[in-house]
Structure 1
Amino acid sequence: MNMSRTYPATEPTRAAVEALEEPTVLEFGASWCGHCQAAQPLLAKAFARHPEIRHIKIEDGKGRPLGRSFRVTLWPTLIFLDQGKEVARLVRPTDSSAIERALARISLAA
């Protein structure tokens, strides 16, 4: 799988997220968010080493149910899922090594 590049206007339901069997990263943010934009090269570098991990961008904001169900308050927030369960979380990552360590926790190749 490849890293997602855009934030779709629709989001999956919490039930759909919990039903995911493959390793997945949810990235909560917004296209206009400076912190989110700054994190993109870091994410690209980390995901280049883990193409087997699914990446889902979720446009977050006030009243968006999925972000609220994960208690997201700052962007970007990365939720690392193994079989639909959260195993790690990074908020406003500033280096790719932290992202890579969290990806390794959910990688099938680990």
Structure 2
Amino acid sequence: MSETSELIGKWVPSGEGVERRVRAEDPALMVVEFRFQTGGVGTLHSHPHVQSTYVERGVFDFTMDGKTTRISAGDCFVIPSNTEHGCTCIEAGLLVDCFTPRRDDFL
């Protein structure tokens, strides 16, 4: 079993009040869950990957390119490559993110 496959499905700390786990990956695409406690912060950042985000549960104030929007269960959107984004969790929840290509830094 490779080191990469051992990480699939395991929760990893990803900031204060935030954990992530890789659910599936291929060089072209990666699916990652982010579990947030109330008050957890996804720090503003950018990356070269295109990202889609689906809110499975919870409420978040999500900032993209300086504009903040409240999102909640069922919302879905795409974040273009190199766009600054982040969030604050208002009610504990789970985000499902897909990245293309795969985020090797998560492995």
Smaller-chain TM-score bracket = 0.3 to 0.5
Higher strand proportion, which one? 2
Task: Give the TM-score, by structure 1 length.
Answer: 0.33
Which of the pair has more CA radius of gyration? 2
Structure ranking higher on relative contact order (CA contacts 8 Å, 6+ apart): 1
Higher helix proportion, which one? 1
Task: Give the TM-score, by structure 2 length.
Answer: 0.34
